[in-house]
Structure 1
Amino acid sequence: MRNDNATMWQIAEESVPRLEQAGTVEVVKKAEIGTPDIPGLTDSPGVVQNLRLHTTLRGEPLELLQTQVYLGMEDVRNPAQRAVLEFVLTAKPTQLHAVLDDFKTFLRTVRPAEEDHA
């Protein structure tokens, strides 16, 4: 939950210093995504950020690609608050093509829960 005025772009930028604790990070691409037909997402379109990470694993160099997706959802009972949903896919460059379509398919299923009026 966030109650600040940070944009989805600013929230995405916050992840870079966190990841830099493990190695070098390059922002490859950042863009708005989404469509207005995603009900309940107030910051739609959201932001997708693609990163290249250079780190080590057991002393060996390792390159990873990461796709981060940020979506905001307003609290209907308290509009001053919002939930920020962060979805992350991390893979080796040779593995990304095998999992990216499934990740995109999953993202298309994200919806707010229906309120129970019973």
Structure 2
Amino acid sequence: MPATLPVPVEFTLPAGWLPAAAPPGVAHAAVLPGPDAGFSANITVDGGFPREEVTATELADASAARIREFAREVAVTHRSEFGPADAPALAQRITFSALEGGARRDFVQSQVYLFLPDEEDPRKRALVRLALTATPAQYGEVLADFQDFVRTVRTVRTRTGAEG
């Protein structure tokens, strides 16, 4: 059963990407047909409400640690923070080796952490995490698609009766 996000979002999938069944803990998933030796590049969207004192760097470190639980040769090869103070974001790229389809394969994962103020209580921040996972051969071809996808992610504001 797909997870729900802490805030409603809308986005546009890049051309050629198809919605896919979301694995447990993921709200949305998409794949690009045309696998590399059986692996299709994919985009996932998940999120939650992190504790107020948790930083983006701590969340990114925890994500890398989770990958280390099932993968080898895990390395954070890039990390940068961006965005305004009221809606900060962090991007990181992780390379790793993991079993997939009975064989050990190399992967690249780009993650983007978006912090969004809660509409009802701006002191609370919602987290939406976007991730692209691909083989190194696919990565160069799909990174621009992922960047385009990230630029389309928007919160959906709920309307009240006073807004008409």
Q: TM-score, normalised by structure 1?
A: 0.84
Question: Is the counterpart of residue 42 in structure 1 residue 86 in structure 2?
Answer: yes
From 103, 108, 111, give the equivalent of 2:151.
108
Give the Cα–Cα distance (whole angstroms) in 2 for the partners of residues 114 and 79 of structure 1.
Answer: 13
Partner of 1:17: 65
Question: Is the counterpart of residue 68 in structure 1 residue 68 in structure 2?
Answer: no
Question: Is the counterpart of residue 32 in structure 1 residue 81 in structure 2?
Answer: yes
What is the aligned residue count? 112
Q: Which shifted more, 51-60 or 68-77?
A: 51-60
Give the Cα–Cα distance (whole angstroms) in 2 for the partners of residues 57 and 2 of structure 1.
Answer: 30
Q: Supply the RMSD in Å over aligned alpha carbons.
A: 1.7
Partner of 2:128: 85
Question: Is the counterpart of residue 6 in structure 1 residue 69 in structure 2?
Answer: no
Q: TM-score, normalised by structure 2?
A: 0.62
1:98 is matched by which residue type in structure 2?
Answer: E
Give the Cα–Cα distance (whole angstroms) in 1 for the partners of residues 51 and 119 of structure 2.
Answer: 13
Contact 1:8 1:43 in 2 (8 A): no
- Structure 1 segments, 4+ long, off by >3 Å, are none
Once the 2 structures are TM-superposed, how far is the Cα of residue 3 of structure 1 from its aligned partner?
Answer: 3.3
1:75 is matched by which residue type in structure 2?
Answer: D
Once the 2 structures are TM-superposed, how far is the Cα of residue 100 of structure 1 from its aligned partner?
Answer: 0.9
Question: Is the counterpart of residue 97 in structure 1 residue 140 in structure 2?
Answer: yes
Give the Cα–Cα distance (whole angstroms) in 2 for the partners of residues 103 and 55 of structure 1.
Answer: 22
- 1:22-41 per-residue CA deviation (whole Å, 9 max, x = no partner) reads 1121111111134x4xxxx8
Give the Cα–Cα distance (whole angstroms) in 1 for the partners of residues 109 and 128 of structure 2.
Answer: 16
3-state SS of paired residue (1:19): helix
3-state SS of paired residue (2:69): coil
Contact 1:3 1:80 in 2 (8 A): no
Structure 2 unaligned residues grouped into runs of 5+: 1-48
Contact 1:69 1:87 in 2 (8 A): yes
- 1:53-78 per-residue CA deviation (whole Å, 9 max, x = no partner) reads 11122442210000000010111322
Give the Cα–Cα distance (whole angstroms) in 2 for the partners of residues 33 and 82 of structure 1.
Answer: 16
